[in-house]
Amino acid sequence: MHKNRGPVYYGDYLQLPKLLDSQLPLSRKFADETNGECHDEMLFIVVHQVYELWFKQILHDLDSILKVFKETYIPEVELSSIVQKLERIKKIQGLLIGQFEVLESMTPMDFLEFRDLLIPASGFQSVQFREIEIKLGLHTSDRMDVDREFFMGRLSEVDRAHLTEVEKSPTLLKCLEGWLERLPYTDTKEFNFWAEYQKSIEGILKDDQEIIEANSAHLSDKQKHMQLENLKVTRGTFDSLFHEEKHKELIGNNQRKLSQKAILNALFILLYRNESMLTMPFHLITALMDIDENFTSWRYRHALLAQRMLGTKIGTGGSSGHQYLKRAADNNRVFLDLFNLSTFLIPSSRLPKIPVEVKKKMSFNV
C-alpha cells in the first residue's frame, strides 16, 4: 500500500490540460478557406480518442493476463485474477459498442463536410486495436481477404516495426492451448475421459440411427437417405475429434486452431463445469468466448455505421468500406474452436461417470 506523499490536485493528476487540449479539428485549421469549422468533427475526434483510451486499458489488462498465463503453472488465486480482468474487458467492450450510438447522432452529410480531410487515415491505423487483436491470437497472416503488405503498408515504419515485434510473442490463444493441455483430470490410472466419452458418443449415434430406421415408414426414400447422410456427417465430425491425423488436417485447412488435446480438455471442462475445480476454468473459457463475440458485435456495428455514413463509397483508408468491415466481422474470430465445442456436448444423463478417486481430486473438500 502506498502512503500519501502530499496534496494532489485533480486536474494535475489526470493531466487534464494536456488531455483537453488534444482535440484539434482539421476543419478549424482550414476554416478561413471554407465555410468555417465543421461542428461534428469535434464529436468524431472525441469518440475515437475515447476508443483509444479504452484500448489502452484493455492492453494493460491483457499484458497482465499474458504475464501470468505464459507460466507453466497457474495457481488458483491467479486464475481468479485472470477471470476478473477478462470480465472487466467485457464491460469495457460494452462501452465501446455503446459509443456507436453517439457517433450515429452525426448525420452522413455532417460527416461528408470534413471526411475528405481525413484521407488516407482510417481505423486500419489504430495500432492499439491491432495490438489487441494480435495479443488475443489474430495475426496479420490469419486475416482473410487481406494482403499483409497492404495491411501493414497503411502504417508508419515505427508502428509497422512495433506490430511485427508484438507478433513474435505468445498470444492468449497459444497460452490457452498450453494451459488446457495441462488439465490433469482427463487421463489418469483410474479414468480415461476420452475413451469413456467416445463410448457414450457411439451409443448416442447408434440410438439416432435406430430412431431413423424405426421411423422409416413415415419417411420417403429421399428423406431417409438425407437423414442417414446427416448422421454420417455427424459421425465424421466426432471422428475428427478423436483421431489426431484428421484433427491435424483441419488445422492445416485453418478450420481449427487449438491442438486435439486442448480441445478435448476444454470439452471436459464444459461437460463437467459444476465440479469445484472446473468452475473457474469454465468461467475463463466463457469469458474468452464473450470477448470474441463482443469484438464481432463491435465490428458489425462498425460495418453498419460505415454503410450508414458512406453507403457503398470506398473507405478513407482505401478498403471497400462497408463490405470489408462486414467480412472482417465474419472472419476475424480468435476463439472459434471454443464456440464449436457445442457440437460435441451431450445430455448430462449420458456423461461418463467420474470415478470417486478422480472426483475427490476435483473437489476442494479433500
**pLDDT for res 165:** 95
**pLDDT for res 174:** 96
Task: Please give the average per-residue pLDDT across 136-145, as a whole number.
Answer: 78
Amino acid identity of residue 134, one-letter, is I
CA distance 322 to 319: 9
**pLDDT for res 34:** 67
Max Cα–Cα distance, the chain, nearest Å: 86
Q: Is residue 153 part of a domain?
A: yes
- Using DSSP, state whether 192 is helix, strand or coil: strand
What is the pTM (predicted TM-score) of this model? 0.90
The model's pLDDT over 25-76, given as tens digits with 9 standing for 90+, comes to: 999 988 766 678 899 999 999 999 999 999 999 999 999 999 999 998 888 8
- The distance in angstroms from the start CA to the end CA of the chain is 35
CA distance 84 to 62: 12
The model's pLDDT over 185-226, given as tens digits with 9 standing for 90+, comes to: 888 887 888 899 999 999 999 998 888 888 877 778 888 889
Q: Is residue 2 part of a domain?
A: no
Number of domains in the chain: 1
Say if residue 147's pLDDT is above 60: no
Contact present, 134 and 166 (Cβ < 8 Å): yes
Say if residue 328's pLDDT is above 80: no
Q: Is residue 279 part of a domain?
A: yes
Say if residue 236's pLDDT is above 70: yes
Q: Is residue 157 part of a domain?
A: yes
Task: Please give the average per-residue pLDDT across 244-262, as a whole number.
Answer: 92
**pLDDT for res 77:** 84
Lowest mean pLDDT, pick from 92-101, 277-286, 299-308, 335-344: 299-308
Write 54-57 long-range contacts (CB < 8 A, 24+).
54/92, 54/95, 54/96, 55/126, 55/128, 55/129, 55/132, 56/128, 57/92
**pLDDT for res 198:** 92
Q: Is residue 63 part of a domain?
A: yes
Contact present, 26 and 114 (Cβ < 8 Å): yes
Say if residue 315's pLDDT is above 60: no
Say if residue 278's pLDDT is above 90: yes
Query: 192 pairs with which residues across the strands?
Result: 187
Q: Is residue 125 part of a domain?
A: yes
Say if residue 140's pLDDT is above 80: no
Q: Is residue 133 part of a domain?
A: yes
Q: Is residue 18 part of a domain?
A: no
224: domain CATH number? 1.20.58.480
**pLDDT for res 281:** 95
Say if residue 321's pLDDT is above 70: no
Say if residue 357's pLDDT is above 80: yes
Q: What is the mean pLDDT of the chain?
A: 89
Instruction: Provide φ and ψ at 308, rounded to 5°.
Output: -65, -40
Q: Which residues fall within 8 angstroms of residue 144, CB to CB, at 6 or more apart? A: 327, 331, 332
The model's pLDDT over 88-133, given as tens digits with 9 standing for 90+, comes to: 999 999 999 999 999 999 999 999 999 988 888 888 789 999 999 9
**pLDDT for res 145:** 56
Task: Please give the average per-residue pLDDT across 221-250, as a whole number.
Answer: 89
Report which DSSP code applies to 3. Answer: P
Please give the residue that has the higher pLDDT: either 205 or 144. Answer: 205
**pLDDT for res 88:** 98
Query: 187 pairs with which residues across the strands?
Result: 192
Burial of 291 (0-12, 13-18, 19+ CB in 10 A): buried
Range of the domain at 67: 37-361
Name the nearest CA neighbour of 129 among 43, 48, 34: 48
Task: Please give the average per-residue pLDDT across 335-350, as a whole number.
Answer: 94
